[in-house]
Amino acid sequence: MSLTLAFGEFGGAYIPEMLYSNVEEIRTRYLDIIAEPAFQEEFNNLLRDYVGRPSPLYLAKTLSERYGANIYLKREDLNHTGAHKINNTIGQILLAKRLGKKRIIAETGAGQHGVATATVCALMNLECIVYMGAVDIVRQAPNVARMQMLGAKVVPAESGSKTLKDATNEAIRDWINNAETTHYIIGSAIGPHPYPDMVTRFQAVVSEEIQLQLQEKTGKDHPDYVVACVGGGSNAAGAFYHFLHDERVKLVLAEAAGKGIDTGHSAATSILGTKGIIHGCMTLLMQTADGQIIEPYSLSAGLDYPGIGPMHAHLIKSGRATVHAATDDEAMMAVIDLSRSEGIIPALETAHALAILDRIGLKKDDHVVVNLSGRGDKDLNTYLKYIEENNIKL
């Protein structure tokens, strides 16, 4: 099933002229390439045998009892490399091969997308260059080691705040200079059109499986709620895709309030953001009155992004999706809670989705699917440090 995605007043491709031919090549070819039976077969086989799909849909008993509803966890944390990001990088590397590209570039903040990209480049034997802020390289050393282990070259971005947006600028510069040979794998449902649409299609396998698995378990073909955390928006977009036009399904996003929405240390983009252009698309972003990006903050590196994918901006503005923000503290409590109640240590990003479950007005016997976007192994140092600094008795 292929749906048309709506972006309303958001989206578009606001790019320098020198990128036009690259983006246009992808735009004119991606839908045909994805629809090819040989592409579908290769994509689906890799998702099954390499990623380990379908990921289970797990009825979380303790959570369900607490909320008096049926809370299901979609276990993207069990995927190879530990999160949903691999679904997209597999799709894009297969596309890159069909476009005849020999070289892959990517940007990464926390390093998760860098690892997922380095993984598929090793799998396909393609050259891989990952741009990463110099500050992030120090903060995320274990993921830098993983990328190097997989054969990727990690290039530090030394400009500006030396974080994700600077790495993105470096990646775009590289792409302009190597347009013929290179594909740029963007890691979320952001960037110039068609990236948000394309990434959503590669992640759509998540909601396709949810639909089948829920039917099999309960006889119901749709949940009452789908809940997902949102950074750029790829895991949420994938979990929503097959339910976008089904008004029986309430779509709920959880963004990062950081230290609190009004503290000046937040990444609650849809709440604090205004309309503007970031990384080639029109969307909601945190910006000053003269359009300079405001540095976002979240303890969770994967949600620490100043914009939100354009499809989500539209879903929120049109009232189709609702959004709640969880603070660092609320997310950390949700991490500890899930670890203790279900024996699952979630990624800190994911915990934001769990943290807002008590605010969405669940009714008895509702069927709720929470997209468990990733596992918490990468965050263990953050968790232990937080527990120690806050004197939490476990």
Ligand X SMILES: *Cc1c(COP(=O)(O)O)cnc(C)c1O
Could you tell me where the beta strands, DSSP code E, fall in the chain?
A: 57-59, 70-74, 103-108, 127-133, 153-157, 182-184, 225-229, 250-260, 265-267, 274-278, 281-285, 321-327, 367-371
Q: Is 107 a catalytic residue?
A: yes
Query: Which is closer to ligand X, CB of 172 or CB of 347?
Result: 347
- Distance of alpha carbon 309 from alpha carbon 329, whole angstroms: 25
Considering only residues 44 to 73 of the shown chain, the ones binding ligand X according to CB under 6 A are none
- Distance of alpha carbon 319 from alpha carbon 30, whole angstroms: 29
- Vertex 230, ends 229 and 236: CA angle to 5°? 75
From the candidates 266, 298, 300, 373, which is the catalytic residue? 373
Query: Which is closer to ligand X, CB of 302 or CB of 310?
Result: 302
- How far is C-alpha 390 from the chain's CA centre? 29
Query: Which is closer to ligand X, CB of 196 or CB of 223?
Result: 196
- Distance of alpha carbon 90 from alpha carbon 74, whole angstroms: 19
112 interacts with ligand X by CB under 6 A = yes
Q: How many CB atoms are located within 10 Å of the residue 336 CB?
A: 16
Q: Are 292 and 278 in contact (CB under 8 A)?
A: no
Pairing of strands 367-371, 265-267: unpaired
First-to-final CA distance of the chain: 47
Identify which range of 152-160, 168-176, 255-263, 347-355 contacts ligand X by CB under 6 A: 347-355
Question: Which residue's CB atom is positioned nearest to ligand X?
Answer: 374
283 interacts with ligand X by CB under 6 A = no
Element of type H or E holding 214 = helix 205-218
| Cβ 391 to ligand X shortest distance, Å | 27
Pairing of strands 367-371, 70-74: parallel
From the candidates 76, 107, 209, 342, which is the catalytic residue? 107
The site map against ligand X for 217-256 (x = CB under 6 A) is: ------------xxxxxxx---------------------
Query: Which is closer to ligand X, CB of 188 or CB of 283?
Result: 188
75 interacts with ligand X by CB under 6 A = no
Q: Is 85 a catalytic residue?
A: yes
Q: What is the largest CA-CA distance in the chain?
A: 57
Identify which range of 3-11, 29-37, 344-352, 379-387 contacts ligand X by CB under 6 A: 344-352
From the candidates 55, 74, 76, 85, which is the catalytic residue? 85
Torsion region of 393: left, alpha or beta (phi above 0 gives left; psi -120 to 50 gives alpha): beta
Considering only residues 187 to 206 of the shown chain, the ones binding ligand X according to CB under 6 A are 188
| Cβ 298 to ligand X shortest distance, Å | 10
Query: Which is closer to ligand X, CB of 70 or CB of 79?
Result: 79
The site map against ligand X for 3-42 (x = CB under 6 A) is: ----------------------------------------
Q: How many CB atoms are located within 10 Å of the residue 361 CB?
A: 9
Query: Which is closer to ligand X, CB of 82 or CB of 223?
Result: 82
Q: Is 250 a catalytic residue?
A: no
Q: Which residues bind ligand X (CB under 6 A)?
A: 83, 85, 112, 188, 229-235, 302-303, 347, 349-350, 373-374
Which positions are annotated as active-site residues?
85, 107, 373
